[in-house]
């Protein structure tokens, strides 16, 4: 499969690292995938990106890539506001699509894209890479097996400290015109997706946004008035009646890449921390009580790199994993589904479902 890459910043690098290294991590792949061409906004960065990728073709026109018959897949790694137009063109050109989150910057756009993709029978995946960590996959398995029973509540926070420094310059992720919404879209989209994936559809949201530093210096060295949230706090309810909190923040001093997730059911509970991605904590509410504690307590499941075959072979399944491994499995799952007749998940429709929740959060905050 030939891939056209649009945007080559941190995620362009991440996706291309995944494609280039697939063969190390997965045995006897029945397909090959490689980048054919890359597009960025400037000639010199596009040329540098092609050099980095070891390919000859680069351009500043995404249309050139999207309309190229030799290209099967469009990989979208641009800032949020640009996703919609690129998605629309890629769907019309009949390409398979791998698109970074958030899908778009409004629910109306996201819904239109999801419907258009379905109508045109397009295979499209939204990149919610945290779903692809073994601990989260094991959490999904335990919930699907009924080990938690009816889910009653949840907590999910995604914390960074990147905006806690008032001297840090504002970039596009702090500019609402380009990001659509700040930390809510950037980190909140991942947190909402994890709750949606594990606990079901979210139908109502109460929320509050926060801007702690109303002014900073922009990329041009001039004073910049912050117009995108630096933190977002939500109380949510799912279709099945579970209630919980979702928080996204870039002003959490001391945080690195901290997702802390807990799901509480009638029969048990689960806890996960992204800074300790090798472990899933499972509490079996049916374990016997007794003197000195009986058999109760959290079991720390050693998920490590235990992917089913053809994954889990390199490095050894016992070796600790990290953020990049989740991205790698996300990319593998997408390419495998493109090659075979498996469904592509999480789909563009799932991206639209998450976008709906983000929009509910924005609306409630405005009120
Ligand atoms: N899933 C994750 O773990 C994760 C992490 C970070 C960012 N993201 C998402 O990835 C996307 C990109 O973020 P990033 O951090 O890589 O940004 P970035 O600023 O590092 O890179 C953006 C790239 O897009 C290019 N670009 C901008 N406008 C373009 C256009 N109109 N046409 C072609 N190229 C264009 C820029 O030249 C640059 O190469 C965003 O949607 C973001 O939300 C996802």
φ/ψ region of 221 (left if φ > 0, alpha if ψ in -120 to 50, else beta) reads left
Give the per-residue pLDDT at 256. Answer: 98
The pLDDT tens digits of the residues spanning 99-120 come to 999 999 999 999 999 999 999 9
Is 2-129's fold the same as 134-321's? no
Calculated CA dihedral for residues 43, 46, 50, 56, nearest 10 degrees:
-40
C-alpha span between 245 and 237 (Å, rounded): 9
Domain boundaries, the chain: 2-129, 134-321
Q: 98 CA to middle of ligand 1, Å?
A: 13
- Looking at domain 2-129, which CATH architecture does it have? 3-Layer(aba) Sandwich (3.40)
Q: Which of 51, 54, 108, 101 is nearest to 356 (CA)?
A: 108
Q: 28 CA to middle of ligand 1, Å?
A: 31
The pLDDT tens digits of the residues spanning 355-365 come to 999 999 999 99
Give the per-residue pLDDT at 341. Answer: 83
Give the per-residue pLDDT at 181. Answer: 97
Domain 134-321 superfamily per CATH: Dihydrodipicolinate Reductase; domain 2 (3.30.360.10)
Q: Which atom of ligand 1 is nearest to the CA of 82?
A: 31
Give the per-residue pLDDT at 352. Answer: 98
- Say if pTM beats, i.e. exceeds, 0.85: yes
Give residue ranges with CB within 6 A of ligand 1: 6-12, 39-41, 45, 62, 77-80, 82, 100-101, 127, 129, 186
């Amino acid at each position: 499969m030939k891939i056209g890459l649009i945007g080559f910043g941190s995620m362009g690098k991440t996706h291309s690292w995944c494609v280039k290294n697939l063969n190390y991590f997965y045995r006897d792949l029945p397909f090959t995938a490689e980048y054919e061409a890359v597009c960025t906004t400037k000639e010199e960065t596009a040329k540098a990106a092609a050099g980095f990728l070891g390919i000859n073709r680069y351009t500043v026109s995404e249309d050139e890539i999207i309309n190229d018959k030799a290209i099967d897949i469009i990989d979208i790694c641009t800032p949020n506001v640009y996703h919609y137009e690129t998605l629309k063109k890629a769907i019309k050109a009949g390409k398979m699509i791998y698109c970074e989150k958030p899908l778009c910057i409004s629910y109306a756009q996201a819904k239109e894209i999801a419907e258009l993709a379905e109508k045109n029978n397009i295979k499209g995946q939204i990149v919610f890479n945290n779903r692809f960590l073994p601990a989260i996959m094991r959490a999904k398995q335990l919930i699907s097996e009924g080990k938690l029973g009816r889910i009653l509540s949840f907590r999910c926070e995604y914390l960074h400290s990147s905006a806690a420094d008032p001297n840090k310059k504002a970039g596009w992720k702090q500019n609402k015109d380009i990001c659509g919404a700040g930390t809510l879209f950037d980190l909140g989209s991942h947190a909402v997706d994890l709750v949606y994936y594990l606990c079901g559809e979210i139908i109502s949201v109460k929320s509050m946004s926060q801007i702690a530093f109303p002014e900073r210096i922009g990329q041009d060295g001039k004073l910049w008035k912050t117009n995108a949230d630096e933190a977002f706090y939500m109380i949510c309810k799912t279709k099945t009646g579970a209630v919980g909190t979702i928080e996204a923040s870039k002003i959490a001093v001391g945080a690195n890449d901290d997702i802390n997730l807990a799901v509480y059911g009638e029969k048990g509970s689960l806890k996960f921390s992204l800074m300790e991605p090798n472990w899933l904590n499972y509490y079996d509410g049916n374990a016997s009580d007794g003197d000195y504690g009986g058999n109760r307590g959290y079991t720390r499941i050693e998920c490590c790199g235990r992917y089913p075959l053809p994954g889990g072979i390199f490095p050894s399944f016992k070796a600790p994993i990290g953020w990049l491994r989740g991205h790698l499995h996300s990319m593998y799952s997408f390419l495998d589904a493109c090659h075979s007749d498996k469904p592509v998940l999480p789909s563009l429709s799932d991206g639209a479902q998450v976008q709906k929740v983000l929009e509910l959060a924005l609306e409630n905050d405005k009120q």
